[in-house]
């Protein structure tokens, strides 16, 4: 009996050590991977926007029309807050394990807010340029608004391939994309979706520090 218990303890130590080493490697690769991904999205989005639209006579203002009317910013804020509300509800309903994408989201949320702020601004701009500016515009023009939104959202969800084994995260990514696609369709400017995307990501990260990380720590303590 003592031998079995000793074996279990040794096995637990080995598994714990392997997990710590994995997380350390993940932590070291997190920021370089993030910035590389956003740089590629920005370059690809900019090139495709030029190739398919600007080269054909469109203007930057057709995608980034600056309108200071309160309706755009109020609606964008409402969309972001609605998505954050659904996020909090999901944390309360589902177990923390349902949101585990291999530790990437948790490590991202653990970063200081002063670092997350510029990361999410750049991330929102590069993703919206590619997803809503290029892909949704093209698909909506070819297939119509409804199918354009649905297919764009499927592509957006597929880009988050680390969620493939987590149905809840995939569903959340799809729903977020639908919200942002509808917002772009209504407002007609990428500034609205960039702002809403940033506000959701940054707000959700701050909320995760308060709600999700404590739930995750409690769940690990119970299961340890």
Name residues whose C-beta falls within 8 Å of residue 86's C-beta, 6 or more positions apart in sequence.
Answer: 172, 175
Mean pLDDT for the chain overall: 86
pLDDT of residue 216: 61
Cα 155–Cα 53–Cα 159 angle in degrees, nearest 5: 15
Structure token pair of residue 114: 């002063």
pLDDT of residue 198: 98
Structure token pair of residue 58: 């469109």
3-state secondary structure 57-93: CCCHHHCCCCCCCHHHHHHHHHHHHHHHHHHHHHHHH
pTM for the full predicted model? 0.86
pLDDT of residue 30: 87
pLDDT of residue 3: 60
pLDDT of residue 17: 60
pLDDT of residue 21: 59
Identify the segments of the chain with pLDDT beneath 50: 16, 221-222
> Any idea what DSSP says for residue 155?
H
Where exactly are the structural domains of the chain?
31-223
The CA-to-CA distance between both ends of the chain, in Å, stands at: 20
pLDDT of residue 29: 85
pLDDT of residue 14: 55
> CB count, 10 Å around CB of 169?
20
Give the span between the Cα atoms of 40 and 27, in whole angstroms. 21
pLDDT of residue 165: 86
Q: Which pLDDT tens digit goes with each residue over 66-95?
A: 876 788 899 999 999 999 999 989 988 988
């Amino acid at each position: 009996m003592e031998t079995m218990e000793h074996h279990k303890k040794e096995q637990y130590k080995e598994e714990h050590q392997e997990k710590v080493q994995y997380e350390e490697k993940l932590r070291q690769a997190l920021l370089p991977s993030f910035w590389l991904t956003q740089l590629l999205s920005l370059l690809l989005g900019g090139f495709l926007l030029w190739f398919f639209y600007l080269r054909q006579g469109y203007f930057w203002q057709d995608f980034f029309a600056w309108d200071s009317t309160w309706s755009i910013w109020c609606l964008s804020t409402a969309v972001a807050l609605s998505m954050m509300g659904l996020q909090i509800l999901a944390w309360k309903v589902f177990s923390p394990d349902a949101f585990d994408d291999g530790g990437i989201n948790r490590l991202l949320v653990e970063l200081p807010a002063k670092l997350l702020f510029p990361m999410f601004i750049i991330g929102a701009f590069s993703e919206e340029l590619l997803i809503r500016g290029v892909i949704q515009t093209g698909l909506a023009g070819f297939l119509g608004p409804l199918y354009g939104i649905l297919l764009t959202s499927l592509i957006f969800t597929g880009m988050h391939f680390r969620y493939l084994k987590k149905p809840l995260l995939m569903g959340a990514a799809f729903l977020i994309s639908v919200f942002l696609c509808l917002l772009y369709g209504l407002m007609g400017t990428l500034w609205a979706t960039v702002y809403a995307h940033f506000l959701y990501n940054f707000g959700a990260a701050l909320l995760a520090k308060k709600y999700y990380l404590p739930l995750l720590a409690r769940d690990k303590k119970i299961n340890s």
